[in-house]
């Protein structure tokens, strides 16, 4: 399969089960988000994917982040687009290899994984129905060229951010919300008094949101 991954099979098996696909942040790995798989609803397949770019010592990235002489950070958009399509292919592979309901796919992305989750959802809404977007932002440059022609009215997003995030400024997340609403997407946005991480309340809130949707 396209991406190295970990799987927790559903405790409650149906003919087809929904999927939660976990996408970690820059410099992390598939173990990170998978550590809370036991806390996630039992009817889901939970798959945690490892990003393709090896940064050594168990660290991986979905795309490079480079610094210029003025210490400005910029993303390697071409690599990000490649990862976008790798993940889209990987979703198809998962549906082919496991008893997964292809019409019940949720991406859970943190940081760089969140940025990609937004791009995949707007690019391929037929493959992704819901997104839990944590500690990232929406960058339409990573989406496919003609994504605005897609019907995004069925897409549901739970977005969250730490109000004192030192890595991804909270304003970037706040500015993303009206852009996504303009596309006709149903989006809930919450902030928590934490830095670049997932607050317990955040976890609790997105689990409730999964149940409600």
If you write DSSP's letter for every residue of 136-195 in order, what string do you get? ----GGGS-TTGGGS--TT-EEEEEEETT-SSS-HHHHHHHHHHHHHTT-EEEEEEES-S
Closest CA to 127 of 77, 80, 93, 160: 93
- CA atoms of 76 and 61, how far apart (whole Å): 11
Give pTM, 2 decimals.
0.95
Mean pLDDT (10-residue bins), the chain, 213 residues: 95 94 97 91 96 95 81 84 98 97 97 97 98 97 96 97 95 97 97 95 95 86
Domains of the chain (ranges plus CATH)? Answer: 5-212 (3.40.50.1820)
Q: What are the pLDDT digits (tens) for 50-107?
A: 999 999 999 999 999 877 666 667 789 999 999 999 999 999 999 999 999 999 999 9
Contact 93, 7 (CB under 8 A): no
Torsion of CA 125, 127, 129, 133, to 10 degrees: -80
């Amino acid at each position: 399969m396209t991406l190295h991954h970990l799987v927790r099979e559903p405790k409650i098996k149906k003919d087809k089960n929904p999927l939660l696909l976990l996408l970690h942040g820059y410099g992390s790995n598939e173990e990170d988000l998978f550590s809370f798989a036991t806390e996630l609803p039992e009817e889901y397949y939970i798959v945690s994917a490892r990003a393709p770019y090896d940064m050594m010592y168990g660290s991986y990235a979905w795309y490079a982040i480079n610094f210029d002489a003025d210490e400005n950070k910029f993303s390697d958009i071409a690599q990000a687009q490649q990862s976008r399509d790798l993940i889209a292919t990987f979703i198809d592979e998962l549906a082919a290899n496991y008893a997964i309901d292809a019409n019940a796919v949720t991406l859970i992305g943190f940081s760089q994984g969140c940025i990609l989750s937004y791009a995949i959802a707007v690019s391929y809404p037929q493959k992704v129905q819901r997104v839990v977007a944590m500690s990232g932002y929406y960058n339409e440059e990573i989406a496919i060229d003609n994504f605005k022609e897609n019907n995004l009215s069925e897409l549901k997003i739970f977005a969250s951010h730490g109000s004192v995030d030192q890595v991804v400024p909270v304003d970037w997340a706040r500015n993303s919300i009206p852009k996504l609403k303009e596309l006709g997407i149903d989006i809930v946005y919450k902030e928590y008094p934490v830095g670049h991480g997932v607050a317990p309340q955040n976890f609790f809130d997105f689990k409730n949101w999964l149940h409600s949707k």
